[in-house]
Amino acid sequence: MDIIIQTYQLKKTFKKEVVIKPLDFSLRKGEICALIGKNGAGKSTIFKMLSGQLFPTAGDIQLFGKSGKETAQAKKRMGFMIEAPEFFPDFTAAQNLEYFRIQRGIAEKERIYEVLQIVDLAKQKKKRFRDYSMGMKQRLGIALCLLSSPDCLVLDEPINGLDAEGIMEIRKLLLKLNEEKQISILVSSHILTELQLLATRFVFIKNGVIVDDLSKKTLDDKSKKQIRLKVDDAAKAARLLEQAYPDIQYKILPNHIITIQNYVEESGEINRLLIDSGVLVMEFRIEALNLEEYFLGLVEGVEK
């Protein structure tokens, strides 16, 4: 499979603080990869290094197989939207896109109206950027990404500020671009449920390190049912569980919550074991894990 983005031991330090630890990452053709992490995990820093806004402290980036100065040419096949989209506030949407159309040497002037139509801003094309709502600004940012008909999109928080309808539209648009034009997408968002509906791969990042990298299928497998229980003494409960089921897989979450990934069929026995051993079980349920919970478990939980 073609590799669109590849990083080798990519590292970034600000002053003496290591923000991204040597990181190997790749985005393959046709993938929609979600980069997931808490604020400050390093997502935007990675995006900025890919776009050229920040220089890596060490390591290398390859875009479409090109590295070094040749990435400039490869970037013409990419659309970046990193953090809040910036435009000239006094220009209309059409004027802003015209500025970038000229800059990018795109001959067809109609392309501006095509992309405005795609993001549903055609009717507001004469409105000044400063009068746009947050959601409209985001959509104009996506329109700019699409202006040069890219093969890859790198979108940092593209649905930030959009209403439910807007979020759904952008999701449909990205899925359509991916399906019909095989556009690869690297995306981040704080709305994890939305990413779950969009992405085909999930990369979890914590303190500048990739802590997990799952395909959608693997995540779905991991999202199978689990036991979630809340007890008065999580440490004691964990000890009991380990004694009774040596290969049990569990996590201890904050507030004395324990999630058990296997032995779901033995839920009755587990419940009885804990109660009989004097552990107060305040909550006991069998649930399916979603991306948000998986993420929280990964970054906040204490894994066995």
* Contacts to other proteins by CB under 8 A: 48, 51-55, 71-76, 78, 80, 82, 86-88, 90-91, 95, 98-100, 102-105, 144, 148
Token readout for 56 is: 């890596």
Q: Which amino acid is at 276?
A: D
Angle at 46 between CA 42 and CA 50, to 5 degrees: 170
Q: How far is the CB of 266 from other proteins (least distance, A)?
A: 53
User: To the nearest 10°, the Cα dihedral for 160, 162, 164, 169?
Assistant: -100
Q: How far is the CB of 72 from other proteins (least distance, A)?
A: 4
Token readout for 245 is: 């089921």
Q: How far is the CB of 179 from other proteins (least distance, A)?
A: 25
In eight-state DSSP terms, residue 302 is: E
The residue among 48 and 256 lying less far from other proteins, judged by its C-beta, is: 48
In 3D, which of 25, 51, 36 has the Cα closest to residue 198? 36
Angstrom distances, CA of residue 59 to CA of 11, 18, 73? 6, 13, 20
- Report, in this order, helix, strand and coil percent for the chain, each rounded to 5: 40, 30, 30
* CA 38 centroid distance within chain: 10
Kindly list the strands in the beta sheet with 66-67, ordered across the sheet, starting from the edge strand earlier in the chain: 17-28, 3-14, 58-63, 66-67
Q: How far is the CB of 28 from other proteins (least distance, A)?
A: 21
The residue among 80 and 263 lying less far from other proteins, judged by its C-beta, is: 80
Angstrom distances, CA of residue 166 to CA of 139, 181, 186, 194, 240? 9, 22, 19, 12, 49
The residue among 137 and 228 lying less far from other proteins, judged by its C-beta, is: 137
Q: How far is the CB of 33 from other proteins (least distance, A)?
A: 18
The residue among 74 and 183 lying less far from other proteins, judged by its C-beta, is: 74
Sign of torsion over alpha carbons 143, 148, 150, 155:
negative
The residue among 19 and 23 lying less far from other proteins, judged by its C-beta, is: 19
The residue among 127 and 216 lying less far from other proteins, judged by its C-beta, is: 127
Tokens 């390093």 sit at which residue?
42
Q: How far is the CB of 9 from other proteins (least distance, A)?
A: 20
Q: How far is the CB of 224 from other proteins (least distance, A)?
A: 40
Q: How far is the CB of 92 from other proteins (least distance, A)?
A: 10
The residue among 48 and 251 lying less far from other proteins, judged by its C-beta, is: 48
The residue among 13 and 262 lying less far from other proteins, judged by its C-beta, is: 13
Rounded CA-CA distance 153/150 in Å is 7
